[in-house]
Chains A and B, each alone.
Chain A
Amino acid sequence: DGGITQSPKYLFRKEGQNVTLSCEQNLNHDAMYWYRQDPGQGLRLIYYSQIVNDFQKGDIAEGYSVSREKKESFPLTVTSAQKNPTAFYLCASSATGLDNQPQHFGDGTRLSIL
C-alpha cells in the first residue's frame, strides 16, 4: 500500500536537545510538507519542498530545519532554538505543488518536553 510513514509516533525532548522526526513516502510525490498542529489553531506550515535538494520556509520555520536529499524522504529537525516544541507534527505530500492535487498526510508524531 502506498502512503506516508512518520516515525516515531511519540518523541520526548530534553532541554537543549535537537530531535529529528522522520517522514517517508512511497507515493512518488514531488512535493512534501511539514505542519505543526496545536489545539484550537488548525495546522501551520513549517517547511515545504517542491523538488529534491530544494525547500522553502513556511509560516513558522524558526527553530526548525529540514533536508530533502531523496524524493521519498523529508526529515524535520526540531532544534534547541525552538522554545515551545510541544505539538503534534504532521508530514504531507502531493503529486505536484499545484492546487488541484490534494495533500496526503501521515499519522503524525507527538513531541513533548521532558
Chain B
Amino acid sequence: AQSVTQLDSHVSVSEGTPVLLRCNYSSSYSPSLFWYVQHPNKGLQLLLKYTSAATLVKGINGFEAEFKKSETSFHLTKPSAHMSDAAEYFCVVTPLNTGFQKLVFGTGTRLLVSP
C-alpha cells in the first residue's frame, strides 16, 4: 500500500525567502513521486516528478525536490519565494512499474507568501 503525509497544512513565508514544503511517503514498491500545484478554483499543474533516475529533481518555476530513500522523504524547495507561488501544493505517490497509475494524494499544503 502507498500513503503520503504532508507534514504542514499551511506554510507562511515572506517574498524572497526560501520555501520548504515537507512530504513523507510510504510505499510497498519503488515509488514514483510527483509534486503538483493548484491555484484557487483551478486544476492541478505538474511541478516535477521522480521516477528512479536522478534523486534531485528540478521542476518548473524554480522548484526542486530531493528523493531520500533512507528518510522516505520528497521535500519540495525553492530558493526564493515569489508572490505568484501562493497556492496549494500536493505531494503524490504511485508505485513504479506496476501497471496502472493509481495516484495517492497527500492532503495538501497551502503556501502563503507575504510582501
Contacts and interface: CB of A to CB of B under 8 A. Distances in A.
Q: Do A and B bind each other?
A: yes
Interface of A: 4, 6, 31, 40-45, 48, 50, 58, 88, 90, 92, 94, 97-108, 110
Given A42-B90, A42-B108, A99 B98 contact: yes
Interface in B26-70: 32, 34, 36, 41-46, 49, 51
Query: B interface, by DSSP: helix, strand, loop or mixed?
Result: loop
22 contacts: A6-B43, A41-B107, A42-B90, A42-B105, A42-B106, A44-B105, A45-B103, A48-B102, A50-B100, A92-B43, A92-B44, A94-B101, A99-B94, A99-B96, A100-B32, A100-B96, A102-B46, A105-B36, A105-B43, A107-B41, A108-B42, A110-B41
Contacts, number: 67
A33 B45 CA distance: 15
Nearest to A9: B41
Interface string B101-115: 111011110000000
